[in-house]
Structure 1
Amino acid sequence: MTATYTVNCSILYTDLPLLDRPAAARDAGFTAVEFWWPFESAIPSDRQVSAFVTAVGDAGVQLSGLNFAAGDMPSGDRGILSNPGSTLIFRDNVDIAVGIADALGTTMFNALYGNRIDGLPAQLQDDTAIENLAFAASAADRIGASVLVEPVSGAPRYPITTAARAVDVIDRVGAPNLRLLADLYHLFVNGDDVNAAITTYSSYIGHIQIADAPGRGEPGTGQIELGEHLGRLLAGGYHGYVGLEYKATRRDPFSWLPRAQRGADAIGPGSPQVPAKRGSL
């Protein structure tokens, strides 16, 4: 069983300029990176887009995944697709993201749902999200890509908190290229049954991300049995990337994973390469 890791360069390497991060991941031995939306604006200039595409291409790494614009994340936004007032911006952003992905061979987009908006009926927000997800799925399908729906923790007004809730949304849209992003950290923190989610929704899972809890640090710094969970996913047929989406808590945030195994790593339940709990490093 093998896992190929991708470094989330929006939460790691934050001490470096954004365009320097793909090369830093390459220098650390990785062959793929992923990003949240990498621009301040949902509609960046052609020059900004070109610089980003060039930085990834020059680093020689695969851009495995890209988030659609999600609003002002540092201020608490977690997506715009459920906001009726942001539909035009979201759809323009989808077109730009698909262009970036087409240039770089990217096949996964993450569409954060959006926080609940006070004063607007929840049904209106959900209907807007469904329509926008259908639009995004259709646009992604033109380049053979998938769109992910992610349960998120730490955002009290974000309505998608469990794998079951995300799958409900996916089923309502009905697009075959709409998949579940199973971030094992978010599921664990939200109190979801991670083992049950893996077993029940394995056919929906399009991408995996990991961090440990509490703290959202490196594997082995908390209490999540990441080795066991990943081993079960791989044994069940998951062949996609495993996104390293955690906060660095030590000088080398990848010390838990031998350099020679960072591109493709042999892994099984309880593997020391993905420590099961604090103290196993």
Structure 2
Amino acid sequence: MTSYSACIEMLFVPETADFAQRISLAKGAGFDRVEFWMWSNKDLDAIERALSDTGVQLAGIVAEPFAELTRETDHDRFLAGLEKSRDVALRLGAPILICQSGPLLAGVERARQHEALTSAMARSADVLQGSGVRLALEPLNDRVDHKGYYLTSTTEGLAICAAVNRPEIGLTYDMYHSMVMGEDPEAVLAGGLDHIFHVHIADHPGRNQPGSGTLPLKQKLAWLEAQGYAGPVGLEFKPTGTTADALAMMQGSLG
């Protein structure tokens, strides 16, 4: 049975500006996992208390800083931040850190950028080794949301994971971004599910709740589960109204 994680950067936002309180609201809505993006701009003490008080688990956070991992000269800065992100993840009980590739660099051969990104993941594995925290690189779409982003291909992301070949490194598979790029989840993930650490969903167009758009999310999630994916599915969508209404629409769409 699919286990959902509420992205509290997007869910429960209409209900409260108190970030830590969204954890309690998520618990009240039936979630046992939440996730969020940056940690450096949050009250970590309040978040830690809310997680402890509710018993909610933190599914993942973003590895800071955002960096141009397609550029080798930015790697040291990212790796220094990754050490801090790892320590925050351990403090809050998050097993996954999520990172982005950075931009497609003008005037640099794509093969060289691919090599730089692969190297960054290999070096990241060394930082995380033995900690129990894993890093999940995330392909994103450059057609709607992230113009100029480098890693738009799930296939390329899986190839990077295979080349690094370390248990600390995998992918966040965002079904919304993937299908906006014209990918079929069943095709691009075939044989690669061992590298998928985390999943995100939203509908298209609009990046709103499942049921608001046209993506066959129910079918594709059922396929993922049938293939053995047992990790959380992060609800990273913008509710079109209240969070409760959005979750009710999602329930009606996904069952």
Q: Same fold (TM over 0.5)?
A: yes
Cα shift readout 1:99-156 (whole Å, capped 9, x = no counterpart):
1221232211112111123455555544432232123223333222221122101223
Structure 1 residues 150-161: aligned runs within 5 Å: 150-153=138-141, 154-161=145-152
Q: Residue 80 of structure 2 corresponds to which residue in structure 1?
A: 92
Report the RMSD for the aligned CA atoms in angstroms.
2.4
SS in structure 1 at match of 2:171: strand
SS in structure 2 at match of 1:6: strand
Q: Residue 216 of structure 1 corresponds to which residue in structure 2?
A: 207
Structure 1 residues 55-204: aligned runs within 5 Å: 55-69=50-64, 71=66, 79-118=67-106, 122=110, 125-153=113-141, 154-204=145-195
SS in structure 1 at match of 2:249: coil
Whether 2:33 is the aligned partner of 1:53: answer no
Q: Residue 262 of structure 1 corresponds to which residue in structure 2?
A: none
In structure 1, list runs of 5 or more residues that go unmatched.
Answer: 72-78, 259-271, 276-281
In structure 2, list runs of 5 or more residues that go unmatched.
Answer: none
SS in structure 1 at match of 2:2: strand
Contact in 2 for aligned 1:53/1:100 (Cα 8 Å): no
Structure 1 residue 241 displacement after superposition: 0.4
Q: 1:188 to 1:13 in 2, by over 3 A?
A: same
Contact in 2 for aligned 1:81/1:114 (Cα 8 Å): yes
Q: Which amino acid counterpart does residue 57 of structure 2 have in structure 1?
A: Q
Structure 1 residue 157 displacement after superposition: 1.5
- Given the two structures, how large is their TM-score scaled by the length of structure 2? 0.86
Structure 1 residue 274 displacement after superposition: 1.0
Contact in 1 for aligned 2:211/2:250 (Cα 8 Å): no
Q: Which amino acid counterpart does residue 150 of structure 1 have in structure 2?
A: E
- Given the two structures, how large is their TM-score scaled by the length of structure 1? 0.79
Q: Which amino acid counterpart does residue 136 of structure 1 have in structure 2?
A: S
Cα shift readout 1:1-46 (whole Å, capped 9, x = no counterpart):
x111101112323342333322221222211111112334xxx9xx
Contact in 1 for aligned 2:97/2:133 (Cα 8 Å): yes
Whether 2:244 is the aligned partner of 1:256: answer no
Q: Residue 76 of structure 1 corresponds to which residue in structure 2?
A: none
Structure 1 residue 61 displacement after superposition: 1.1
Q: 1:124 to 1:104 in 2, by over 3 A?
A: same
Contact in 1 for aligned 2:202/2:208 (Cα 8 Å): yes
Greater Cα shift, 229-238 or 129-138: 129-138
Query: For the residues of structure 2 that align with 1:55 and 1:69, how far apart are their CA atoms?
Result: 22
SS in structure 2 at match of 1:255: helix
Q: 1:57 to 1:89 in 2, by over 3 A?
A: farther
Q: Residue 269 of structure 1 corresponds to which residue in structure 2?
A: none
Contact in 1 for aligned 2:12/2:22 (Cα 8 Å): yes
Greater Cα shift, 164-173 or 140-149: 140-149
